[in-house]
Amino acid sequence: MSETFTAVDVIRTKRDGGRLSDEQIAWVIDAYTRGVVAEEQMSALAMAIFLRGMDSGEIARWTGAMIDSGERLALHVSRPTVDKHSTGGVGDKITLPLAPLVAACGAAVPQLSGRGLGHTGGTLDKLESIPGWRAALSTSEIVRQLDSVGAVVCAATEGLAPADRKLYALRDVTSTVESIPLIASSIMSKKIAEGASGLVLDVKVGSGAFMKNLDQARALASQLVEIGVAHGVATSALITDMSTPLGSAVGNAVEVAESVEVLRGRGPADVVELTVALAREMLALAGLSDVDPAAVLASGKAYDVWCAMISAQGGDPSAPLPRPRHIEVVKAPSSGVLASLDAYSVGVAAWRLGAGRARKEDPVQAAAGILCLAKPGAPVSAGDPVLELHTDTPEAVPAALAALDGAFTIADEAPEATPLVLETLRG
């Protein structure tokens, strides 16, 4: 077939600081998906975008073109649909209690999730530590479960934004991952194609997050909200702190266990706080602001939805979770107050213990992870356990301990408390 543009002309436009037209964007995404635009040409365009940026109109059209490269889910269910996306962090298990909680409040939650890479954990990896649970569902199974249970957490279907899948892998090997236009369009193309009418973004900031400072996080959050609104999806974003791991558990099975505690009305205060804050925002977008998620969580109804959600996907919610073959304890070297616990260091250590992967095809250990036995502000005495390392491969412990060198500090006084939710942006 005759092509409307050439890749070289599109690359040159952006390389020279020009604005890509809607037609150029539609063509280059479609041609790349079809294989007409070569990998090296899209690599050059990605680098030009990284260096020159895109305006809001370009980003919205780029996102739309990636959505148009595949299918859109048609979620014909009786409840209002609303979803949540996190930019990733350490101990970020929030999807696990959040999806059943929001469903227990009356909305439908189609949560298409991913796997972990590097120091950030993946929701599917965590759930796969539950015996029998399966991530892959067909579109009809997703809709059926939304109708019957109200929540589904599963892998994205193959036909969802295939252009993004190709471009995501390319960005990883061309050092263009950090481009806000490419990050924002990648996230939103998949989420909008999901078909939910509302979307809440949890944009993490801090050492354990992709965005290290508040200005970066604010820029990304603003761009995500703009894209959602431009595509007719009610969208808001919470910017939340990720300088310290969320909760006490970092890993796979250990995070599932902690999530169940939250659903049973217990669990760490920070996990409960963020779960309820995100639930309130999701319910507002779904038109259910009169429902109090804190009261629903305390009632046990969300735990009942969790059990139904896990069972519907073949899992046994009552089955024992995997236990590690080896446990190593890291102790406090002196007495005082735990002043800091670095999220990134803990995330890397958990990854090295087997909880994460360096490449998409690498396996993970269900039982691997870390328990943070003390969090900032807690008093400790010399010799007290601070971290508990779980792994099936004891030979991985030295590398994990190396990652934890300097990961926590002990001081005479407690640190000043910082808020978990830093800002909220609404469309």
List, for residues 120-144, the tens digit of each pLDDT value. 888 999 999 999 999 999 999 999 9
pLDDT-based confidence at residue 188 (cuts at 50, 70, 90): very high
What average pLDDT score do residues 184-194 get? 93
Given this model, what pLDDT does residue 390 score? 98
What average pLDDT score do residues 191-198 get? 92
Q: Where in the chain is the domain with CATH 3.40.1030.10?
A: 82-158+171-319
Q: Which CATH number fits domain 326-411: 3.40.50.970, 3.40.50.1110, 3.30.70.3000, 3.90.1170.30?
A: 3.90.1170.30
Position 45 pLDDT exceeds 70: yes
What average pLDDT score do residues 317-325 get? 97
Q: For all residues of the chain together, what is the average pLDDT?
A: 94
List, for residues 270-314, the tens digit of each pLDDT value. 999 999 999 999 999 999 999 999 999 999 999 999 999 999 999
Q: Where in the chain is the domain with CATH 1.20.970.10?
A: 7-68
Position 117 pLDDT exceeds 70: no
List, for residues 224-267, the tens digit of each pLDDT value. 999 999 999 999 999 999 999 999 999 999 999 999 999 999 99
Give CATH superfamily name and number for 7-68. Answer: Transferase, Pyrimidine Nucleoside Phosphorylase; Chain C (1.20.970.10)
What average pLDDT score do residues 180-202 get? 93
Position 174 pLDDT exceeds 90: no
Give the pTM: 0.93
Which residues are designated catalytic?
85, 164, 171, 186, 190
Position 210 pLDDT exceeds 90: no
Class of domain 82-158+171-319: alpha beta
List, for residues 343-385, the tens digit of each pLDDT value. 999 999 999 999 987 776 778 999 999 999 999 999 999 999 9
Q: Where in the chain is the domain with CATH 3.90.1170.30?
A: 326-411
Label each residue of the chain as H, E or C. Answer: CCCCCCHHHHHHHHHCCCCCCHHHHHHHHHHHHHCCCCHHHHHHHHHHHHHHCCCHHHHHHHHHHHHHCCCCCCCCCCCCEEEEEECCCCCCCCHHHHHHHHHHCCCEEEEEECCCECCECCHHHHHCCCCCCCCCCCHHHHHHHHHHCCEEEEECCCCCCHHHHHHHHHHHHCCCCCCHHHHHHHHHHHHHHCCCCEEEEEEEECCCCCECCHHHHHHHHHHHHHHHHHCCCEEEEEEEECCCCCCCEEECHHHHHHHHHHHCCCCCHHHHHHHHHHHHHHHHHCCCCCCCHHHHHHHCHHHHHHHHHHHHCCCCCCCCCCCCCEEEEEECCCCEEEEEECHHHHHHHHHHHHHCCCCCCCCCCCCCEEEECCCCCCEECCCCEEEEEEECCHHHHHHHHHHCCCCEEEECCCCCCCCCEEEEEEC
